[in-house]
Chains A and B, each alone.
Chain A
Amino acid sequence: MIRLTGVELRRLTARRLTVIGVLAVLGITAFLLFAIWQDARPLSADEQRVAQTQYEQVHKDWVEHGDENKQMCEADWRNMPDPKPALEEMCAFREPTIDDFGKPRTVFAEVMPELLLGSSYLLVFAAFLIGASFFGAEFSTGSIGNWLTFEPRRLRVYGSKVLAAAIGLAPVGVVVLAISLLGTYLIVDQLGDTATTTGKVWGDLTAIGGRAVLLTALGAALGSVAGSLLRHTAAAIGVVMAYLVLIEGVFASFLNKAQPWLVKTNFDAFVRHDTTYYLNQCSSSPDGGYMCNSIEKTLTFEHGAWYLGILAVVVIAIGAAVFQRRDIT
């Protein structure tokens, strides 16, 4: 099994699609860093002039009409039926400052978790694609039959391919996330704010990165299983895209309560260590109206970990059972 996995790793790294996929992920990562740089860089002289002009106009308006606007707002508030928002919230016409018209400073500790989550989506998708092609191509070229005449123990063959996909793609995750993390830090350190990056922040970011690497490996393994089950890369990707669009997109938008059981919500909960989602709770009011409130819910890390773990075990086991029994024609 170890020898077979080694052979499969050599094959994985020698494949053109693996190289293209990894280069594409690195290219997108470079683009994301460019976007961070764009976001963090200070305004140009022209942009600053525009911001100053806008500020002066708004400030002038506030000086001339601020009190008048506030009185009108308070009058409107008094006429509103209950329940109504707090007066201070609704009619707080504070004096504008120039900072309101500039660009907020980029804070490393705030942007990095979201960037890591975004990178993990990209990595898992790429790993799934490469994994699906890695195993699926063997069926489409017919080489799996030839391979099995050399090693007929199918579970070993299956295990070696799934394991090689996972082991082979995990380092890609490490490299990409390390580039994202360090690249963003260097950019924000020059142009934004890294002062709040405490040891705990680094620890949290490292943990998010570690979990994203784990999911990259899992994505590659599940991709290879999908390639094996569907026997074609395009079919595997088609099925996953259809699932994401129909179930995670359309179905989830109609069935709000299904959110804790969606892959994406659990993925987020696992990577971020807890995530929030919103449920619409609607009710009829005594005056005959119908009101909906959005209620924030938390999906725990543990839920996400169990969900993804069970999903992986079930899919890999189904793949093994099918591969063990399937006729190779």
Chain B
Amino acid sequence: MSHKLNLSCCTSALVELRSFLQNSLKAYGFSEIDRHQVTLAVEEVCANLIIHSHACNPKELIRLEVKDLKKKLAIEITDKGDAFNLLEYEVPELTQVIGEKRKGGIGILLVKKIMDEIEFETKNGENTCRLIKNFPDAYRP
């Protein structure tokens, strides 16, 4: 079973993204805290793409697909455009973020702390970021 969403590249679409994820994540035995955090991690990646790769152009789209991989859940985020490989992004120290008064930089830190695995690939002009969260041990479909 999979859930799909095409997201318009504007920050006002983030609310739609959250409700899509809250619905898609319901079935897998995740705790409320896990669902909240996975939603946040996916939103951080999408917000980055919307703002930095697509300059908030609502005509451009990001494709999302939530996939059940038996023991874990994958959320695939696909876009066209300048690739932003968050695996290569050096996460700043918190003190650095405070000292420089920059209002960004901690989103990717959240993603890395929340997700169990992160994969990134660029193929045929499309970038796919795959965020993976293991199902809770108690979950038996």
Q: Do A and B come from one complex?
A: no
Q: Residues of A at under 8 Å CB distance from B? A: none
